Structure 1
Amino acid sequence: MFKRYRYVILLLLFIASLINYIDRAALSILAPMVSEDLKLNAAQMGFLFSSFAIGYALFCFIGGYLADKLGPKKVFAGAMGIWSLFAGLTAFAFSFVSLFIVRIIFGAAEGPNGSATNKTVSNWFPANERARAVAISFSGNPIGGAIAAPIITSIALVGGWRISFIILAIIGFIWLTAWIILVKDHPYEIRRVTKQEINEIQGGMIAETEVKTENKKLGFYLRQPSILFTALAFFSYSYILFFFMTWFPSYLIDVRNLDMKTMSIANTLPWVVGAIGLALGGFLTDYIFKVTKKLLFSRKIVIVIGLLLSAICISLTGLVESIGSALALMSIGIFFMYITTSCYWAIVQDSVQGNNVGAVSGFVHLLANTAGIIAPTITGFIIQATGDYTGAFFLAGGLAIISSILVAIFVRPMRSKNNEENMANFSR
């Protein structure tokens, strides 16, 4: 079925990201039911949405570091097993505190997902395929978000919100079994991988050394402006994403007066459009590199333009009067946001030597996902204080505008003593 075994790996990564977003979106979709059952107010729901990111952000870095040390297979297996377990335990929450604790551990377990995926792609794909591979892997995220609403809502309306989380746990353990059986950390560890495919992968890795800095310690990369401002842009991306994922379903119910069933259908549109944008972004940045031969430029231009256009659409969503206009603008905004996804990961892969890819990916992901703590909480307080969502839309858009400008100015090639001549292809 697959001419290259690395595409089996890619399929499993795609399914994992799909499960990841169904699991994490479930609470937001079921928030009206959960809040009514457990007697929770808007501020408490904001804290619960943010509790996920407390554990998640920290373990983005820890998971990436462990992926470098232990290998992505073990880290991903442990992460999926634990987050599936705590997805199931969500069904047994009986108060704000119990749900808060479960969500923190659930989020911590999901933390390694991004960096372990990036490390796996780095090990299994040549440089000229990585942006596409990352884009396809993570395109499962918005697709998961799209199918989560109708599936989870249908289950909840029949069996109650608690049974939804138990079913999600079972799905995660099925994937875990396939991952353990089919995956190894490196292509040469699997007999079914041909010498031709190994040569393709290793050939791409040899070629990419032309654009990397010499091998450095982890601290060198964590101090680089290129890494730090990439993380800032990723923070703005994550702010929009967490705002959309946690509060947009409630916005459709509270402001647009949709019922649960109609909301679950309407909420799928931005996710579907976002999935198209995410997949397209990986091919787009690889094409720009093919035409310009400028690796960093091909990533940077997509981030800057994508975030700017997303910011404009997100901001306008809070001003329009009709539900159709709001859905259209939010969908376009999510589309342009998702176009930038693979570029953050690709900058790390392009810039960092393989023995530090996981840790640096995790560091960037950690900084980005502090937005998951901040965005839902601030949004909850804005809604409670003003009784309106408009300010929250403006704040999300404003952050994206600022970060895109800073990326354009400060994300530059890394410099070290021995690689000045080799950086020509990595120029802006």
Structure 2
Amino acid sequence: MEASGYNKRTKTIVLTLLFLTWIVNYLDKNSMSIALISITKEYNLTPTQGGMVISSFFLAYAIMQLIGGYFTDKYGAKIIILISVVVWSIFTIFTGLAWSFLSLIVIRFLFGIGEGSFPAASSVALAETFPKEQRGRAKGVLSAATQIGAIVAVLLAAIMVQSMGWRMMFFIFGALGFVFLLLLWKYLPSRAEAHGNAEGQKVSYLNVLKNPLAWQLMLIYFGMSMVNWGLSSWLPSYWVNVRGLELVKTGLISMLPVACSLIGIALSSWAVDKLASGKEKYIIITGAAIGIIALYFTMHAASVALALTCLCTAYFGVGLVSIVLTLPLKYFTQNTMGTTVGIMYFGGQMAGVIAPTVMGYTITLFNGSYNGAFMLLMGALSIPIIVSLFLKGNSTKKAARSVAV
């Protein structure tokens, strides 16, 4: 059951809407790291309590990757996306109404439940709209949206919190979600429109869980996400504490590595539509190797400029590894794609739970040195290399399709 032949206008509208919705997703999600500065003062929260507010979101977000992917396969992308946007927009607004530490924990957990279905559902929406030979580039656009959204969220949140307060910021972001809800409801095709009201095959969640390829993709994405979440959490303090930069400057120079990551994402997403089946693993191995080498030289860089250059190179390498995000769209049957993407994103979100805490512990263990943290990330990037060695050419496609019942 493959995507129907939509015209260029429909494809452009769908891709644009999903791109912008991903940015709104990141506005709601990443703005908490900025708002937490004011929230901590208002409610006299300890650093541990502040961390619990953020972790409550990631816990729910990770759990819903698995559940949301399955429901997307069963009911179609549009209905799951609409439900996801409704729930996360409601609880974004409720975040602005929070009255205590406990209420924040509950609200952000429910917010994570809302957002958790969106990654898998957006991938399936691409598969329902684009033919296979165009899905890699389309997914690359959405991957770029996550990087752009992260930058926009931090900059915009800082301005809004300073000018109007954190509560009003969440009210506005929540209202923005409802605007996109209406646009998605009107313009996003349903599964019936994509497949002429045809019924899909029965979804076998157990068969997907038994498929080694799904778990291989999850491990690759886990290793890649360890670097992304680890660096995003600790890179600002690295620039300040190790390299002696002012805090404002760290925000500006942090854009350069992200830009290099976008280049890697663009190259890998273009390549995935051109490469023969089973050859994608060489891009993953190359990107991970570049990242490991660049992180090693970052540890020993003699100047800020050299350290920044090395980090830009590392981000570029990780951007190449992001080709893994396109593989379910290329290989898995449409009726199991959401479940597979959900499993893969579950690995990424677990990295988001693990990396910041373990890196912080490592920095403490090494008496403030970040060398141990960089070695941890180098070890994480070895996971995609090792796992990719077991991705065997034509058997990849066969393994992906073996989950249908």
One fold, TM greater than 0.5? yes
Q: Report the secondary structure of 1:370's partner residue.
A: helix
Cα deviations by residue, 1:165-200 (Å, 9 ceiling, x for unpaired): 33322222221111011112248469xxxxxxx9xx
Q: In structure 1, how many angstroms separate the alpha carbons of the residues matched to 2:47 and 2:241?
A: 11
Higher alpha-carbon deviation: 301-310 or 157-166? 157-166
Aligned twin of 2:349: 369
Structure-1 separation of matches of 2:46 and 2:137 = 42
User: Contact 1:122/1:349 (CA < 8 Å) preserved in 2?
Assistant: yes
Q: Which moved more, 1:380-389 or 1:361-370?
A: 380-389
For 2:13, the aligned partner's letter is V
Partner of 1:334: 315
The residue that corresponds to 1:285 in the other structure is 272
Q: Distance in 2 between matches of 1:70 and 1:174?
A: 23
| CA pair 93-270 structure 1, distance change in 2 beyond 3 A | farther
Change (3 A) 1:132 1:312: same
Distance 1:315 1:96 in 2: 40
- Counterparts of 1:370 and 1:150, CA distance in 2: 26
Aligned pairs (5 A) from 1:220-369? 220-256=207-243, 258-259=245-246, 261-287=248-274, 289=275, 294-297=276-279, 299-320=280-301, 322-341=303-322, 343-369=323-349
User: 1:111-130 residue pairs with structure 2 within 5 A?
Assistant: 111-130=116-135
Maintained 8 Å contact 1:121/1:133? yes
2:232 aligned partner, one-letter code:
M
Which amino acid in structure 1 is aligned with residue 55 of structure 2? Answer: S
Residues 22, 267 of structure 1: CA spacing in aligned structure 2 closer, same or farther, 3 A cutoff? farther
The answer to whether the 8 A contact 1:140-1:275 is kept is no
Give 1:285 deviation, angstroms. Answer: 2.1
Contact kept in structure 1, 2:77 and 2:191, CA below 8 Å: no
- C-alpha spacing 1:414/1:303, structure 2 compared with 1 (3 Å): same
- 2:361 is matched with which residue? 381
Residue 185 of structure 2 is aligned to residue 180 of structure 1? yes
**What residue number does 2:29 align with?**
24
CA distance in 1, matches of 2:340, 2:296: 32
Deviations 1:204-230 (A, max 9, x none): xxxxxxxxxx99844333223222122
Residue type at the aligned position of 1:237: M
1:129 Cα deviation from its structure 2 partner? 0.6
Amino acid at match of 1:372: G
How much does 1:67 deviate? 0.9
Aligned partner of 1:407 in structure 2 is 388
The question of whether the paired residues in 2 share the 8 Å contact of 1:229 and 1:411 is answered with: no
Q: 3-state DSSP class of the match of 1:409? A: coil
Equivalent position to 1:9, from 10, 14, 23 = 14
TM-score (norm 1): 0.80
* Partner-residue secondary structure (3-state), 1:4: helix
Alpha-carbon shift at residue 34 of structure 1 (Å):
4.4
SS at match of 2:257: helix
- Displacement of 1:80 after TM fit? 1.6
The count of aligned residue pairs is: 391
Q: What's the counterpart of residue 90 of structure 2? A: 85
The whole-number CA distance in structure 1 between the counterparts of 2:357 and 2:12 is 39
Paired with 1:53 and 1:366, the residues of 2 have a C-alpha distance of 10
Structure 1 contact 316–329 (Cα < 8 Å) conserved: yes
One of 151, 158, 163 as aligned partner of 2:168: 163
1:66-105 to 2 correspondences below 5 Å: 66-93=71-98, 96-105=101-110
Could you tell me which amino acid in structure 2 is paired with residue 392 of structure 1? A
Instruction: Verify the 8 A CA contact 1:221 1:352 in the aligned structure 2.
Output: no
Quote the residue 2:376 is aligned against: 395
Instruction: Report the 3-state secondary structure (helix = DSSP H, G, I; strand = E; otherwise coil) of the residue aligned with 2:134.
Output: helix
CA contact (8 A) 1:90 1:103 kept: yes
Q: Assess if the C-alpha contact under 8 Å between 1:28 and 1:246 holds in 2.
A: no
Whole-angstrom CA distance in 2 between matches of 1:372 and 1:89: 24
Q: What is the TM-score with the length of structure 2 in the denominator? A: 0.85
Separation in structure 2 between the aligned mates of residue 161 and residue 328 of structure 1, nearest angstrom? 35
Distance 1:393 1:404 in 2: 17
- Whether the 8 Å CA contact 1:50–1:375 is kept in 2: the answer is no
Taking the aligned partners of 1:136 and 1:215, their CA distance within structure 2 comes to 30
Change (3 A) 1:381 1:96: farther
Please state how far the C-alpha of 1:388 moved relative to its aligned partner. 4.2
C-alpha displacement at 1:78, in angstroms? 1.3
- For residues 121-176 of structure 1, the C-alpha deviation after alignment (integer angstroms, 9 at most, x for no partner) is 11111111111111112211101112223222222222334433333222222211
CA-based RMSD of the aligned residues comes to 3.2
- The question of 1:143 aligning with 2:123 is answered no
Specify the code of the residue in structure 2 equivalent to 1:224. Answer: N
Residues 391 and 296 of structure 1: is their aligned pair in 2 closer, same or farther, counting only changes over 3 Å? same
Q: 1:24 to 1:415 in 2, by over 3 A?
A: closer
How many Å apart are 1:321 and its aligned residue? 5.2
Q: CA deviation at 1:242?
A: 1.6
The letter for the 1-side match of 2:283 is V
| 1-structure distance, mates of 2:86, 2:384 | 35
